[in-house]
């Protein structure tokens, strides 16, 4: 039998329903796996095995009490959570030194809903500090490795979550996506990631980076799991003033029913701007293979244009940094955790306390973005930068409106390249920003989109790295149901999960046994 | 556009401080990013007004699914406003709790639920 950590949420749920296994068995399997593998991958910032086992026992009690298997699908399922979600009595650091000792005073709405579903909490995952980055290298605490090649990044900012799902360190995870932070790491780690329409998952209790762009979403092993996770947390929340009243569909049920016939007659748009300069050859090839697949399944593939795509990164880095500079004003050295006190020189005024705490507490990329945003909002520059970027955002929305009048769904690559090397883009921030070229405009337009793995690079070469390639599917506003169904058919037809697995061989971990065992002990102590 | 960032001034506004040596690095990086951002001036936005989009999805979703027009920001229903308890705004009171020292006994410094900060007035 396959180890439990390899199974999907829906498979585990099936076994729990039949009472063939217990949640404590699943949870134990994950904890063992984490102790063994995570010292190499560094998916987690904190784990709490005791709490996880307690959650599992509680879930088992719920399962035992229900006779007909009528318990929520997430009952007894071990999940990891990006360290940006507040969860009462756990540390929420946002991978920042400035929040290193910050204890969450309350539950975010997402966590509240997951608790109502009796989920098992494994731990908090690593990320770029304040979700600012595309590689998880901006974490103040550790660098997460890509399970497909540990010399490479897992993407970011939800890199810990994506690497964890990919390496079997959790059954699923929740991340956040401001400019691609769910979809790009999902693509680089060969898993499924979904960024829903702005407003359908409550942002209440999620640490804010850029409030008009931030959106929570699931990262999962397959499309059906993604649908299960989405359904369990979506919905209107009066505590989030950008939350939206809408009809939550039964996404898992729709996905289960989705057959090849749903593709027939669909118009799928391929934006020419997504296939331009900078797109890696193998990525291009894999996306073209899926384009052919769409045709075989009876879809009409149409080349479309999103003419203002080239402005999206520039507009994004004005809007996101402006909002960030304002959102991050609250870290003043007084109200949250970290305060810098100059022991030698106890004088100094309140202003120095602000400046010193922020300067020592924030990492380099965060400071860079606060500076850029402060500049864009400063007197004399507001019209030229913030206002202009907001108007360009309208152009981008119009591009998508026009496109969705012609096609039902849009498809293309999620990221221009497969996973890049650790350190490769850290020297040049702009090159890092450009790696989000295909994902950013979706956030600007409040649209839903997801990434699914469709192939592997370097297939015809013995030396080249074998790295996953993700395809992005973009749907009209609130059409998550249709997007998931299309993704499911492509997933079934491509059969990625059956063909490929990250090369996490047992020997890989045995070789460095001393080091790994030592680190495993350390990580087990993190709490 | 095409202006350079006055690092020292922005640093003050952002309540950050960089060492002399760091300033040069930040200056070069930020101005490179700004050069890139300046491409926005080429975008034709002359026919557009207002900063925020009131998204009307009717025309867009069209044949996909019929939904009502949805404004970007939530419109409060009257009855809901009344139902919300003003005293707490319907929030978990822990959210606005400012006595973090209860959670962190060591720092920030606190006294009887107040934060201790350096003197503002001499």
Q: Is the pLDDT of residue B117 over 80?
A: no
More confident residue, A125 or A461: A125
**Nearest-angstrom CA–CA distance, B91 and A182:** 28
**Nearest-angstrom CA–CA distance, A224 and A433:** 31
Q: Most A CBs within 10 Å: which of B8, B11, B15, B106, as the mutation test of the A interface?
A: B15
Residue of A nearest to B63 (CA): A408
More confident residue, B79 or A19: A19
The yes-or-no answer on residue A157 being catalytic is: yes
* Domains within chain A, CATH numbers bracketed: 4-258+483-519 (3.90.1300.10)
Phi first, then psi, for residue A455 (nearest 5°) are: 170, -175
Within 77-116 of B, beta carbons closer than 8 Å to A belong to 80, 84, 90-92, 94-95, 97-98, 100, 103-104, 107-109, 115
Distances (CA, A) of B6 to A45, A372, A378, B2, B24: 37, 11, 11, 13, 11
Q: Which residues of B touch A101 (CB under 8 A)?
A: 104
The token duo for A244 is: 């939206």
**CB contacts < 8 A (A, B):** 190
**Nearest-angstrom CA–CA distance, B27 and B7:** 6
A309-357 pLDDT, tens per residue?
A: 999 999 999 999 999 999 999 998 887 778 887 666 566 788 888 999 9
| Three-class DSSP category at A351 | helix
Q: Which residues face A302 on adjacent strands? A: A269
The yes-or-no answer on residue A82 being catalytic is: yes
The token duo for A501 is: 């697995």
B4-35 pLDDT, tens per residue?
A: 788 999 999 999 999 888 898 889 999 999 99
Q: Which residues of B touch A482 (CB under 8 A)?
A: 64-65
Indicate yes or no: CB of B74 within 8 angstroms of CB of A479: no
Q: Does B66 touch chain A (CB under 8 A)?
A: no
**Nearest-angstrom CA–CA distance, A337 and A409:** 45
pLDDT band at A513 (very low <50, low <70, confident <90, very high): very low
Pairing type for strands A192-195 and A78-82 reads unpaired
- pLDDT, mean of residues A188-207: 96
Within 25-54 of B, beta carbons closer than 8 Å to A belong to 26, 29-30, 32-34, 36-41, 43-45, 48, 51-53
Q: Does A267 touch chain B (CB under 8 A)?
A: no
Strands (E), A70-154: 78-82, 120-125
- Cβ atoms of residues A134 and A436 within 8 Å: yes
Q: Is the pLDDT of residue A147 over 80?
A: yes
Pairing type for strands B114-115 and A300-304 reads unpaired
Nearest CA distance, A283 vs chain B (angstrom): 26
pLDDT band at B72 (very low <50, low <70, confident <90, very high): low
Indicate yes or no: CB of B26 within 8 angstroms of CB of A387: no
Q: Which residues face A80 on adjacent strands? A: A123, A173
- Cβ atoms of residues A182 and A158 within 8 Å: yes
Q: Is the pLDDT of residue B58 over 80?
A: no
Taking the domains of chain B in order of start, what are their residue ranges? Answer: 7-42, 58-115
**Nearest-angstrom CA–CA distance, A28 and A49:** 9
Nearest in space to A158 (alpha carbons), one of A123, A192, A191, A133: A133
A388-415 pLDDT, tens per residue?
A: 999 999 999 999 999 999 999 999 999 9
Indicate yes or no: CB of A387 within 8 angstroms of CB of B74: no
Q: Does A115 touch chain B (CB under 8 A)?
A: no
Distance of CA A21 to the CA centre of its chain: 29
């Amino acid at each position: 039998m396959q180890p439990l950590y390899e199974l999907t949420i829906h498979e585990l749920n099936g076994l729990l329903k039949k009472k063939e296994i217990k949640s404590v068995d699943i949870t134990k399997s994950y904890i063992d796996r984490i102790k063994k593998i995570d010292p190499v991958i560094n998916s987690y910032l904190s784990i709490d095995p005791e709490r996880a086992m307690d959650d599992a026992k509680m879930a088992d009690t719920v399962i035992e009490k229900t006779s007909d298997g009528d318990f929520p699908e997430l009952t007894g399922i071990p999940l990891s959570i990006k360290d940006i979600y507040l969860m009462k009595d756990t540390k929420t650091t946002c991978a920042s030194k400035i929040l290193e000792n910050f204890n969450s005073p309350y539950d975010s709405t997402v966590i509240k809903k997951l608790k109502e579903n009796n989920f098992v909490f494994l731990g908090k995952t690593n990320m770029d500090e304040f979700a600012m980055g595309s590689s998880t290298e901006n974490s103040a605490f550790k660098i997460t490795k890509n399970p497909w090649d540990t010399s490479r990044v897992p993407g970011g900012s939800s890199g810990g979550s994506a690497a964890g799902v990919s390496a079997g360190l959790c059954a699923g995870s929740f991340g956040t996506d401001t400019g691609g932070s769910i979809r790009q790491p999902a693509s680089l780690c060969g898993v499924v990631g979904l960024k829903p329409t702005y407003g359908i998952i409550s942002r209440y209790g999620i640490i804010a980076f850029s409030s008009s762009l931030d959106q929570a979403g699931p990262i999962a092993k397959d499309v059906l799991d993604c649908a299960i996770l989405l359904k369990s947390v979506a919905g209107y929340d009066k505590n989030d003033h950008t939350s939206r009243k809408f009809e939550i569909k039964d996404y898992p049920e729709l996905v289960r029913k989705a057959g090849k016939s749903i593709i027939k007659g669909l118009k799928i748009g391929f934006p020419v701007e997504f296939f331009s300069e900078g797109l890696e050859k193998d990525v291009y090839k894999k996306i073209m293979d899926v384009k052919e697949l769409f045709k075989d399944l009876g879809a009409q593939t149409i080349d479309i244009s999103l003419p203002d795509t080239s402005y999206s990164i520039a507009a994004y880095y004005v809007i996101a940094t402006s909002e960030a500079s304002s959102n991050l004003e609250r870290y003043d050295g007084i109200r949250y955790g970290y305060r810098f006190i100059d022991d030698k020189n106890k004088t100094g005024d309140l202003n120095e306390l602000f400046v010193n705490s922020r300067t020592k507490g924030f990492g380099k990329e965060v400071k860079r973005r606060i500076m850029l945003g402060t500049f864009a909002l400063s007197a004399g520059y507001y019209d030229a930068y913030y206002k202009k970027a907001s108007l360009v955002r309208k152009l981008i929305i119009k591009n998508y409106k026009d496109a969705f009048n012609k096609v039902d769904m849009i498809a293309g690559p999620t990221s221009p390249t497969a996973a890049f090397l650790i350190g490769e883009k850290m020297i040049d921030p702009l090159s890092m920003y450009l790696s989000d070229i295909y994902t950013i405009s979706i956030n600007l337009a409040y649209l839903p989109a997801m990434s699914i793995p469709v192939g592997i690079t370097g297939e015809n070469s013995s030396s080249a790295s074998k790295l996953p390639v993700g395809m992005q599917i973009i749907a009209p506003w609130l059409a998550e149901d249709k997007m998931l169904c299309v993704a499911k058919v492509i997933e079934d037809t491509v059969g990625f999960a059956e063909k490929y697995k990250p090369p996490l061989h047992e020997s890989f971990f045995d070789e460095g046994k001393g080091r790994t065992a030592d680190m495993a002990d350390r990580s087990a102590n993190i709490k | 556009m095409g202006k350079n960032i006055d690092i020292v001034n922005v640093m003050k506004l952002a309540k950050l401080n960089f060492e002399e040596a760091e300033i040069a690095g930040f200056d070069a990086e930020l101005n490179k990013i700004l050069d890139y951002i300046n491409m926005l001036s080429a975008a034709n936005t002359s026919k557009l007004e207002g900063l925020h989009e009131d998204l009307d999805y009717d025309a867009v979703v069209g044949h996909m699914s019929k939904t009502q027009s949805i404004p970007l920001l939530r419109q409060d229903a009257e009855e809901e406003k009344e139902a919300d308890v003003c005293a707490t705004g319907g929030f978990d009171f822990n959210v606005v709790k400012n006595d973090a020292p209860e959670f962190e006994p060591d720092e920030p410094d606190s006294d009887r639920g107040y934060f201790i900060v350096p003197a503002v007035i001499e």
